[in-house]
């Protein structure tokens, strides 16, 4: 067999990855089709399963994630809702503090300026990780709760890893978790705050008519 043909599997895998990244960026995780990915990569669809196991596996590889979101979800959710916020915050900061953290920060920077990258970031963290986490607790308004949790976590990432605002930038993961864990936990409380009815604009009181002195004659009636 010619030596050059040994690179075939590697080239095939890279072609599938490139096609997958394009489809996930353009269509999102849910709407991306393995059939279309295989067709644009010009490979047999069964090769996707061969190299990546499933669409989920291909997505993780395409994002070059340092973790399997399913494992992250299981580790945080398994103990239940008690201490959930602090547990999630600790694992979140530990992940971004890891050697793969700069790669994740790079993905975040790309998401700010590129809609395709933003879609992939939303899919993997907001949909695949956070929504699964919240739904595992069997709470109502799961999507809204997950979005508010995301606002805390990505706000933290911006402050700690991009702006590097002290003292947050150098706090230990447990210390950060003690600060923001209760806020995350509040988003997972059993009740949803009721909206107060909006107040109608205050109407100004009509001007009072001056009182007439006893025995006085109204204007215009004199004479």
Rg (CA), the chain: 29
Indicate whether 20 and 76 sit together in one domain. no
Please report whether residue 210 resides in a domain. no
Let me know whether 87 and 179 are in one domain. yes
- Is there a single domain that holds both residue 106 and residue 175? yes
Same domain, 34 and 135: no
CATH of the domain at 37: 1.10.10.60
Q: pLDDT of 98-107, one tens digit each? A: 888 888 888 8
Domain that holds residue 182: 69-187
The span from the CA of 120 to the CA of 194, in Å, is 33
| Together in a domain, 173 and 94 | yes
Using CA atoms, how far residue 45 sits from 28, 32, 42, in Å, is 19, 13, 9
Those residues whose C-beta lies under 8 Å from the C-beta of residue 52, and which sit 6 or more positions away, are 16, 58, 61
In a domain, 206, yes or no: no
Same domain, yes or no, for 85 and 182? yes
Q: What is the pLDDT of residues 186-213, one digit of tens each?
A: 998 866 655 555 555 555 555 566 566 6
Evaluate whether residue 223 is within a structural domain: no
State pTM to two decimals: 0.67
């Amino acid at each position: 067999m010619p030596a050059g043909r040994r690179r075939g599997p590697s080239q095939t895998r890279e072609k599938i990855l490139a096609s997958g990244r394009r489809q996930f960026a353009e269509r999102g995780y849910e709407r991306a089709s393995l059939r279309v990915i295989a067709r644009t990569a010009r490979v047999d669809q069964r090769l996707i399963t061969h190299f990546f196991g499933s669409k989920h596996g291909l997505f993780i590889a395409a994002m070059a994630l340092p973790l399997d979101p399913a494992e992250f979800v299981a580790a945080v959710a398994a103990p239940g809702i008690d201490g959930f916020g602090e547990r999630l915050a600790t694992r979140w900061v530990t992940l971004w503090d890891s050697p793969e953290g700069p790669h994740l920060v790079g993905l975040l920077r790309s998401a700010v300026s590129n809609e395709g990258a933003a879609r992939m970031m939303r899919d993997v963290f907001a949909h695949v990780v956070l929504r699964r986490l919240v739904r595992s607790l069997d709470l109502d308004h799961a999507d809204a709760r997950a979005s508010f949790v995301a606002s805390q976590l990505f706000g933290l990432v911006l402050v700690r890893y991009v702006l590097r605002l002290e003292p947050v930038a150098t706090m230990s993961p447990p210390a950060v978790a003690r600060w923001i864990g209760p806020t995350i936990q509040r988003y997972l409380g059993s009740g949803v705050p009721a909206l107060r009815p909006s107040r109608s604009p205050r109407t100004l009181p009509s001007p009072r008519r001056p009182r007439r002195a006893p025995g006085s004659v109204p204007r215009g009636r004199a004479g």
